[in-house]
Structure 1
Amino acid sequence: MRQLKIGTSGIRGVVGDALTPELAVNFACAFGAYCAGGAVVIGRDTRRSSVMLRSAVLSALISSGCEVIDLGVCTTPAVSFAIRHTGAAGGISVTGSHNDARWNALKFIGPDGALLNAANTEELLDIYHAGAFLRVGWSELRRFRLRTDLIEAYVEHVAEALACDAVRSRGLRVAVDYCNGAAIEAGQRLLDRMGCEIIPLNDDPSVEFAHPPAPSRTNMRQLAALMRSVPADIGVAINADGDRIGFVLPGGVPLSEEYSLPLAANEAIATRSGPVVTNLSTSRMVERVAERHGRTCVRTTVGEGHVMDLALTNGAAVAGEGNGGVAVLPHAATFDALLTLGVVLRTMATRDCTFADLCADIPAMHMHKGEVAVPPDQVYRVLDVFREQYADVEADLTDGVRLEWPDAWLHVRASNTEPLLRVIAEADVAERADTLFDEAMALARRAAMAHGVR
């Protein structure tokens, strides 16, 4: 079945099925018109289909009269920085991000360096559906510029934001799993500037991903094994386009990606005013951290575009989601794994503590995440079953069905990026989390079967 996901995360699908070069050309033409033929920054990750899609995007933008600034292989945060640094009208990052190599996507970024919000995404879709593309003659075609030097400028920007002297004096040993993705060059440069000894893993951008890119505990098993055999102060896994990060403790214990946001927030809100912004599916751990500092935690619809739109509007100190994506404001307008890593390393250095000490400072919760395959045309029928089953509990219907109790919460929603129903349950006590999650997964499977899903 052809599944194309369209939203504030851009357009996303399986390459050769829903996502084709023709589709990429048409959406890039629409984006060229959206940018009124202005300068557009592009970058790509290392998956084999990204070369093809980059070529489609480049041709479409040039045909629209855009000046194209090509960063080559780079992270989405680097594209975001380059847009702001050059004053470009927008940017496109060709990356499937956390999805496996079958998938790819075009992420559309506005002049503020953030993913297009819901209103701007609708505007882009209107241009696409109307076919209202710009077409310029041969004499108005503009040359494209290869600007790999902007990757170094991005690294310098992050390093200046971190004030690296304290980290340099500590001489930390950092094991990094790059997943053979786009963050290799910038990550090595940044850690060199911070005086860290790098223990690299999967740092060859010319080969396939060593494992699925999402920095989950399951996908960090290889890094955890390395940490058990090599002494290091901290282990980190960075996804394919450098927007999400996961952590592994010395000794080889992988942490849930839910820890990334509270670890960064614990430091960021101590140095900048403003709330913490996150989504409806993220752990209450970040709420507890915010409360400790006398800050509010504001929740919104799942998706980086929704979270960052609210964060930028409300002058947040930090924003992120429970998938390992974190933005430390005002230095980032997108989720940025390398900036997040730098904040954690700086905290270890300035507090003269271990990574385990930082983690122990985060209030522990018990969470389970699961998923059930449900086609988009059936998912809302399944959600109605949850609404009826828990009719006695006040539900937040902003994004799926979210139910909350004093000691626990449950969120069931349609994935923004895949044909899945996502189920997340969290509680103060493990047994309560187990029961809530098991009941929800059983109900989701029964409801899916009842509506013809196999």
Structure 2
Amino acid sequence: MAIEPSPSIKADDFPASERGQPTAAMVGEYLCPGEVHPISRAVHYARLAAFFPKCRVCEHRRETGSLPRQIVERIDRTLHRVPRESLLSGEGVRGAYLNEIGPREIARFAAAFAVQLWKQRPKRCSLDGADSVREARRAGPAVVLGRDGRPSSPRLVVEAAAALRSMGCRVIDVGIVSAPCVAFAVNHLSAAGGILVTGSGCGPSMNGLDFWEAGAIPWSQPGRLQSVEAENLPRPTRQGGDQRSFQAAVPYSASLLKHFHALRPLHIAVGCASGFVREQFEKIFEQLPGRVEFVSASVADDVDRSRALTLERTACVVRDRGMHCGAVIDDDAQACRFLDESGRLMPISAVALQFARIAREESESPVVVLDDCFSADWPGEAAHERCSDSTREAMTRHMAATAADLGAASNDRYWIRDDYPVCDAIVTTARILQVLSRSDRPCSDLFLNG
């Protein structure tokens, strides 16, 4: 039986995806928006599953392959989100580690901060002749650099230090510290500025930077913080900077002790996620007749929920263990809320009023700075200044300008006058203990009933 030859097959008889030139998806290479090197199909799927921000505007975002249905549904929901135009938050730079902020972004913000510090430095000139003046070589600005205890912070602090040195700054590494400790070091060392690698106020997957200028004045938004967004900055000097270490925690701990003098035996429960803050409380209460008991703080991406859980746990410890009061301190070691002996939350205005009475005993005419949220309800027995903004920068500058003795804001932050306006939850807790030590009355009677 004769076999008929098969008809000839041409490439044009097949669609493009089935010809000898496969599509990008078949080859397995994708190019993320803004990147120059292609990625494999596996990396493409992994980024989709991790909700990589650039996937929202990628032309291949619908190619989900065999990803689980739940992941695909979440991807569809995230496609409608508006991407962040800026990494600046109210009190610093914040972003999801690696997805939004990584070593490159940290270096850029640190370099921009260094440029601003160079602009504030006075020029020193020396005369070479009667008519010639040349600018003398200037030592770079000294910058205090610290970090919090997040797992991503060690890598980011290395990049920040390298960027500062490349801009001619003298880096002073203070290790793992809190925001109040960085502010203390800036003032203690008369540094030009300070940077803290921290994701305070955000979930554990976030990180960022906080900034201070000379005088321990923090940068916020609105304010000087916006100046660190500048890009393509020239180096202010060809001379690289240096780096040294300084144990800022040692003088910082010593400076806290003066706030805890003349206290009666008091027992307090403290809920805080910062290991550095817990260490400071342990050192302080080793020399006091009272007792501190720590409450495990909840840590999750839902910051508000974590704060509520920590507040609830602390209230239970206060009631069950018969504590005189309780303190719940945010991970920035600045914002804090207080509980009476029954576990009830003390109003900010009541706490500020008791602090003002102490300030009136220390000064004949104390000045209190309040933000707009509760300055209208402030009692007439204590004079006050009104600050239209409750950011750390606005309140600190206002206190420095008016030489105020006390500051209070509706965001649970208090400022105590020292060598500079101090916003430190440990110092604020010391004031609470001072109020309780001046009377045998229970905490609720003092703060809730006046």
TM-score, length-scaled by structure 2: 0.69
Gaps of 5+ in 2: 1-81, 119-139
Seen in structure 2, the aligned counterparts of structure 1 residues 319 and 59 have a Cα distance that, compared at 3 Å, is: same
> Secondary structure of the equivalent of 2:218?
coil
Seen in structure 2, the aligned counterparts of structure 1 residues 260 and 222 have a Cα distance that, compared at 3 Å, is: same
Which range moves more in the overlay, 83-92 or 175-184? Answer: 175-184
Structure 1, residues 404-447: CA drift from partner, whole Å, max 9, x if none?
xxxxxxxxxxxxxxxxxxxxxxxxxxxxxxxxxxxxxxxxxxxx
Seen in structure 2, the aligned counterparts of structure 1 residues 269 and 194 have a Cα distance that, compared at 3 Å, is: farther
1:228 aligns with 2:319: yes
C-alpha displacement of 1:59:
1.8
Q: How many Å separate the matches in 2 of 1:211 and 1:247?
A: 21
C-alpha displacement of 1:255:
3.6
Letter in 1 for 2:243: R
Which one of the candidate residues 323, 348, 369 is aligned to 2:411? 323
Contact in 2 for aligned 1:301/1:307 (Cα 8 Å) = yes
1:72 aligns with 2:175: yes
Contact in 1 for aligned 2:197/2:209 (Cα 8 Å) = yes
The 5 Å alignment of 1:21-170 reads 21-36=103-118, 37-116=140-219, 121=224, 124-125=227-228, 128-129=230-231, 131-134=233-236, 136=238, 140-145=240-245, 147-148=246-247, 150-160=248-258, 162=259, 164-167=260-263, 170=264
1:450 maps to which residue? none
Contact in 2 for aligned 1:74/1:241 (Cα 8 Å) = no
The 5 Å alignment of 1:168-207 reads 170-202=264-296
Q: How many Å separate the matches in 1 of 2:422 and 2:447?
A: 24
Which one of the candidate residues 218, 226, 242 is aligned to 2:333? 242
> Secondary structure of the equivalent of 1:232?
coil
Structure whose alpha-carbon radius of gyration is higher: 2
Letter in 2 for 1:154: Y
Structure 1, residues 142-190: CA drift from partner, whole Å, max 9, x if none?
1331x23x21211222222x2x3321xx111111112245412223223
C-alpha displacement of 1:111:
1.0
1:292 maps to which residue? 381
Q: How many Å separate the matches in 2 of 1:2 and 1:110?
A: 30
1:379 maps to which residue? none
Letter in 2 for 1:57: A
Seen in structure 2, the aligned counterparts of structure 1 residues 249 and 30 have a Cα distance that, compared at 3 Å, is: same
C-alpha displacement of 1:19:
2.8
Letter in 1 for 2:294: P
Q: How many Å separate the matches in 2 of 1:104 and 1:193?
A: 35
C-alpha displacement of 1:18:
3.4
1:388 maps to which residue? none
Letter in 1 for 2:394: H
Q: Percent identity between the aligned chains? A: 22
The 5 Å alignment of 1:235-384 reads 235-255=326-346, 260-272=351-363, 273-282=365-374, 284=376, 287-288=378-379, 291-293=380-382, 295-362=383-450
Letter in 2 for 1:346: Q
Letter in 2 for 1:121: R
C-alpha displacement of 1:247:
0.9
Seen in structure 2, the aligned counterparts of structure 1 residues 141 and 304 have a Cα distance that, compared at 3 Å, is: closer
Q: How many Å separate the matches in 1 of 2:91 and 2:146?
A: 16
Contact in 2 for aligned 1:2/1:18 (Cα 8 Å) = no
Contact in 1 for aligned 2:186/2:192 (Cα 8 Å) = yes
Provide the alpha-carbon RMSD of the alignment. Answer: 3.0
C-alpha displacement of 1:292:
1.7
C-alpha displacement of 1:215:
9.1
Which range moves more in the overlay, 228-237 or 57-66? Answer: 57-66
2:4 maps to which residue? none
C-alpha displacement of 1:110:
0.9
Which range moves more in the overlay, 303-312 or 29-38? Answer: 29-38
Q: How many Å separate the matches in 2 of 1:113 and 1:349?
A: 30
Seen in structure 2, the aligned counterparts of structure 1 residues 50 and 136 have a Cα distance that, compared at 3 Å, is: same
Contact in 1 for aligned 2:103/2:156 (Cα 8 Å) = yes
Q: How many Å separate the matches in 2 of 1:188 and 1:68?
A: 30
Contact in 2 for aligned 1:277/1:316 (Cα 8 Å) = yes
Contact in 2 for aligned 1:320/1:327 (Cα 8 Å) = yes
1:391 maps to which residue? none
Seen in structure 2, the aligned counterparts of structure 1 residues 228 and 211 have a Cα distance that, compared at 3 Å, is: farther
Q: How many Å separate the matches in 2 of 1:232 and 1:122?
A: 41
Contact in 1 for aligned 2:178/2:332 (Cα 8 Å) = yes
Letter in 1 for 2:412: G
Q: How many Å separate the matches in 2 of 1:119 and 1:210?
A: 25
1:413 maps to which residue? none
Letter in 1 for 2:369: V
TM-score, length-scaled by structure 1: 0.68
Letter in 1 for 2:315: A
Seen in structure 2, the aligned counterparts of structure 1 residues 315 and 20 have a Cα distance that, compared at 3 Å, is: same
Q: How many Å separate the matches in 2 of 1:14 and 1:122?
A: 19
Gaps of 5+ in 1: 363-454
C-alpha displacement of 1:85:
0.8
Q: How many Å separate the matches in 2 of 1:316 and 1:218?
A: 35
> Secondary structure of the equivalent of 1:72?
strand
Letter in 1 for 2:117: C
> Secondary structure of the equivalent of 1:351?
coil
1:16 aligns with 2:98: yes
Seen in structure 2, the aligned counterparts of structure 1 residues 28 and 68 have a Cα distance that, compared at 3 Å, is: same
Q: How many Å separate the matches in 2 of 1:122 and 1:201?
A: 34
Contact in 1 for aligned 2:108/2:231 (Cα 8 Å) = no
Structure 1, residues 186-211: CA drift from partner, whole Å, max 9, x if none?
232233344431111228xxx95698
Seen in structure 2, the aligned counterparts of structure 1 residues 359 and 312 have a Cα distance that, compared at 3 Å, is: same
Letter in 1 for 2:205: R
Contact in 1 for aligned 2:220/2:391 (Cα 8 Å) = no
Contact in 1 for aligned 2:145/2:182 (Cα 8 Å) = yes
